[in-house]
Amino acid sequence: MIASWALCPLSLSLDLIFGETLSVVHPVVLVGRWGRFLEPFFLERCPAGRWQRLGGVLYLFLVAVPPVLATIFLTGPFVPPLAGNLLSVYISYQLLAARSLYDHVRDIHTALSAGDLAGARVFLGKIVGRDTQDLTETEISRGALESLSENMTDAVVAPLFFLFLGGAPLLIFYKAVSTMDSQVGYKNDRYRDLGWASARLDDLLAFLPARLTILLCMVFAFFNRSGRSHLLETVRLMLSERHLHPSPNSGHGIAGYSALLRVRLGGGAFYGGHWVEKPLIGRSFQPPDQGLLGMGLSLYKKQIAFVMGILLLCFLFRWKVLGESFWKA
């Protein structure tokens, strides 16, 4: 089996070059459909409250474990090494979304730059849960920047973190839990109990990756030429405002981008016609526009290039200096 330290830069390279163009049947789609198939059984057979919470634990187990076992079987010693390694690379590449996230937000920026608010609203609606039909340019830019910065963890840092630690099986476990959180991890009457386990485990798994995301933002604060005082203020803002977001992990990326771009993010929005209030992050800064959204995209590309550089250095160190083989027995 190919070593995870070689798998990470290879998979990220494929993702950046091809994006979603090589996808045939996406593993996340299959996991999501399997979860939707099982969902009615647990909602109907488990009474709300404690029993449905216990059912949610079993539900998550039945959704997340089979893909892991299938990945171990398809990429392990049970198949020819070449086939197993190629499939491991392919699965890992599909479960990264660095290029996809960039492309989606770039489409929003392109539409805004052309003055096409209607098109920008449609593109934004593909990546956020809020109502987009009446949003202004500022609100569209805010939603796009928040999605870009928040999903830096979910689409890039966390997948690479788990891929590095445990290869394709651990990565697909993380993505299965994340997918279930996005499908049933809501605090509404339907999913509050069934999705409790999915939401809590997703928070736990994303704990370290979220903090690596804000650490990455702190590294980029050093590249600012405004002097040491500005650096300390930027880092202070990141650390002080990362917990303002209702999610224990999502605020780290948002606070990082807010401080680096000196832009106001957060605030309330309509979800399904209902206003949901959220605290502001970067309250003293100006609200975003399409220009600041473009700066956010530029920052994202630089961060991806930096991450790729770190992965390549790790690859070269383990190969050239430590003399490790690409392949694990």
> pLDDT digits over 142-180, tens only?
999 999 999 999 999 999 999 999 999 999 999 999 999
Identify whether 329 is part of a domain.
no
Identify whether 282 is part of a domain.
yes
Identify whether 326 is part of a domain.
no
Distances (CA, A) of 136 to 116, 131, 143, 211, 279: 11, 12, 11, 32, 19
Identify whether 278 is part of a domain.
yes
Structural domain count, the chain: 1
Identify whether 327 is part of a domain.
no
Residue 189, pLDDT score: 85
Residue 33, pLDDT score: 96
Identify whether 184 is part of a domain.
yes
Question: What's phi and psi for 310, nearest 5 deg?
Answer: -65, -45
Identify whether 186 is part of a domain.
yes
Residue 272, pLDDT score: 84
Residue 290, pLDDT score: 94
Segments in the chain below pLDDT 70: 225-229, 328-329
List the domain range (segments joined by +) for residue 270.
4-321
Helix or strand holding residue 271 (H, E): strand 269-271
Identify whether 155 is part of a domain.
yes
pTM of this prediction?
A: 0.93
